[in-house]
Amino acid sequence: MSRVAIVTGGTRGIGEAISLALKELGYTVAANYAGNEEKAKAFTEKTGIATFKWDVGDHQACLDGVAKVTEALGPVDIVVNNAGITRDGVLAKMSFDDWNEVMRINLGGCFNMAKATFGGMRERGWGRIVNIGSINGQAGQYGQVNYAAAKSGIHGFTKALAQEGARSGITVNAIAPGYIDTDMVAAVPPAVLEKIVAKIPVGRLGQAHEIARGVAFLCSEDGGFVTGSTLSINGGQHMY
Ligand code: CAA
């Protein structure tokens, strides 16, 4: 029986590419999504990958969601914490809700999903957790104190949990994408984005599959000696 992987936010953007890459690796994939029913339905029709709806920022919903995936597909050995949102704005204009939602979903989601799966991975002596951080968690970004803090938190979370999982065959790593051609980046005002792209040495936005290949490696058997690391995939924008 093939191993089961959950990809949060796995039906769109970078998450969609990750779901496909893990399926290609031979894993049984469960793609979690939060709200876009239409896109999730189209995704399953196109890929044959099962989708499961819950809010990763809701602790109980994660426990229940993982229980449903386990019942449908089997015990979960791989989690990719990809789900994330932006609520950009300068501090002066940022509401507490904009701060809290980004922390709750982007960083809280990693905690919730790890709580729901880590014990089982430890019992079975094998696991892979990949957390999607960001260049903006490494370098900061004007207008993103919430997002940068949450993503930076993900990098710390990754290094701490890696230490807890190492002796049980569980690796925990992060990928720090740069600016990737997705709906999230398309929402950046064009004039601002133009200036950002001008600072990318490779001279273009990244593609979702370029992140997915890195995730696939970290989730493979060959990735077993890589833990607590952050792989930066950003076209050279921040060499870290
Ligand atoms: N450094 C210093 N000053 C800056 C600046 C920067 N990087 N960017 C803008 N400013 C200045 C502007 O020049 C302007 O100055 P003046 O008033 O003197 O002209 C002032 O700050 C206000 O700028 P804006 O007009 O842009 O302010 P705004 O309130 O309309 O918008 C914003 C602010 C929403 C943050 C907007 O600038 C923005 O969307 N920026 C992009 C943020 C970004 O990169 N988000 C990434 C989303 S994708 C993602 O997060 C994925 C990932 O992991 C990479």
User: Could you identify the atom of ligand 1 that is nearest to the CA of residue 196?
Assistant: 44
Confidence of residue 1 (pLDDT cuts 50, 70, 90): confident
pLDDT at 213: 98
Domain ranges, ordered by start, for the chain:
4-233
Q: Tell me how far apart the alpha carbons of residues 75 and 58 are, in angstroms, rounded to a whole number.
A: 21
Give all strands of the β-sheet with 50-53 in edge-to-edge order: 50-53, 28-33, 4-7, 76-81, 127-132, 170-177, 230-233
pTM (2 d.p.): 0.96
pLDDT at 178: 98
**Cβ of residue 77 lying under 6 Å from some atom of ligand 1:** no
Average pLDDT in the chain? 97
From atom 49 of ligand 1, which residue's Cα is the shortest distance away?
185
State the Cα angle at 23 between 204 and 8, rounded to 5°: 70
Distance from Cα 223 to the centre of ligand 1, integer Å: 37
CA proximity to 239, closest of 130, 230, 106: 230
Pick one of 1.10.3720.10, 3.50.50.60, 3.40.50.720, 3.30.450.40 as the CATH number of 4-233: 3.40.50.720
**Cβ of residue 86 lying under 6 Å from some atom of ligand 1:** yes
Q: Residue range 89-116: average pLDDT?
A: 98
Distance from Cα 177 to the centre of ligand 1, integer Å: 19
Q: Residue range 148-170: average pLDDT?
A: 98
Tell me the β-bridge partners of 4.
28, 76
pLDDT at 152: 98
Confidence of residue 217 (pLDDT cuts 50, 70, 90): very high
- Bigger pLDDT: 85 vs 1: 85
pLDDT digits (tens, 9 = 90+) for 174-189: 999 999 999 999 999 9
pLDDT at 240: 75
Confidence of residue 36 (pLDDT cuts 50, 70, 90): confident
**Which residue in 142, 147, 179, 240 is the catalytic one?**
147
Q: Residue range 217-231: average pLDDT?
A: 97
Kind plus residue range of the DSSP H or E element containing 145: helix 145-165
* 27 among known catalytic residues: no
| C-alpha distance from residue 84 to each of 7, 13, 80, 138, 234 (Å) | 12, 11, 12, 16, 18
**Cβ of residue 135 lying under 6 Å from some atom of ligand 1:** yes
